[in-house]
A and B are shown apart, each in its own frame.
Chain A
Amino acid sequence: MKTLMNDTIILDSLKVVNNVLLNTTETNQTINWWFWVSILQFIFIVYLLLSKKNELKVNRKQKFKSESLKQNIDFDNIINSSFHSISLYDELKVKCHPDRFTTDKGKNAIAESLFQEITKNKTNVKKLLELKEEAKNKLNINF
């Protein structure tokens, strides 16, 4: 009688162990959906942050670009300057040199500032012609 009871207990135990083992294996085999959902969420957040950061950069570049495209370019002056600015600059730098006005302090100061402007714009014919007119009026130079 006792042996039979023991056998039943053993059989029951084996059954339970078998069930437990089966269930454990089943849990390992199923896909953990929440894990993958969280990974996808993380990737999406990183993408959003990066695109937001990049958007700022793109906006700054666009602003710089649109400001640059608004300005007008004087091609005629560029072409003209390529061939005629050297001679005009050479003429102006000699005639407007401050050392020619050492006796008159007022004219000397004007010549000083004009000479600086002439040197700054030595490759710009349009500006040099304006400075030539200024020199004619303010310093009474005959060109």
Chain B
Amino acid sequence: MFSNTWNAIVDWFRDRSERNKLIRSFNESARDSFVAGIAPTLLKAKISKGESSYRHQFSNWLNTGFRIQAFTGRELSKDELVYIGKVILNDSVLVRRLIVLGWDTLEIHGDKGQYGCRWQLKDYIPLPNFNENTNE
């Protein structure tokens, strides 16, 4: 019982560290690509509030949104937002990582305008049912 509680505390800290590491790696890659001229737009990832109706088994209590902001200096069209979203969602390794680290919502926003798109992450990866009594 005590070891379980201790493991839960350790896991919580480890998850926080992994979440920050992922955000940092994404932002570093985006910055380097922008500086090198590979990417015409600077992307920046941050943690947002998220959508409570998108919850899944790994969801955190608070701040479950993974928001990517595109600094274009203009209002992005819906197609552009959807395409960036699709690139993220088609990378199954990244989606899986986002899910296990407690995120349940992906949000893409521009730096101008009020318009943005969001997706429910659990729709893009099959999550096993951990309550089933099967010997996997």
Q: Name A residues whose Cβ lies closer than 8 Å to a Cβ of B.
A: 51, 55-58, 60-61, 64-65, 68-69, 71-73, 75-76, 78-86, 123-124
Contact = CB atoms under 8 A, between A and B. Distances in A.
Contacts of B130: 57, 60-61, 64
Given A57-B131, A69-B18, A71-B93, A78 B87 contact: yes
A119 B37 CA distance: 27
Interface stretch (B26-34, B47-55, B59-67, B110-118): B26-34
A79 B35 CA distance: 12
Q: Number of contact residues on B: which range applies?
A: 35 or more
Interface of B: 1, 4, 18, 22, 25-26, 28-30, 32-33, 38-41, 43, 57-58, 83-84, 86-88, 90-91, 93-94, 96-97, 99-100, 128, 130-131, 133, 136
Given A57-B130, A76-B29, A76-B33, 10 more contacts: A57-B131, A64-B100, A64-B128, A65-B100, A68-B96, A78-B26, A78-B91, A80-B39, A82-B43, A85-B87
6 contacts: A51-B4, A61-B57, A61-B130, A68-B99, A79-B29, A84-B38
Given A60-B136, A71-B96, A73-B93, A80 B18 contact: no
Contacts of B99: 68
A122 to B, nearest CB: 8
A61 B100 CA distance: 9
Nearest to B14: A69
Nearest to A125: B87
Contacts of A58: 4
A102 B4 CA distance: 64
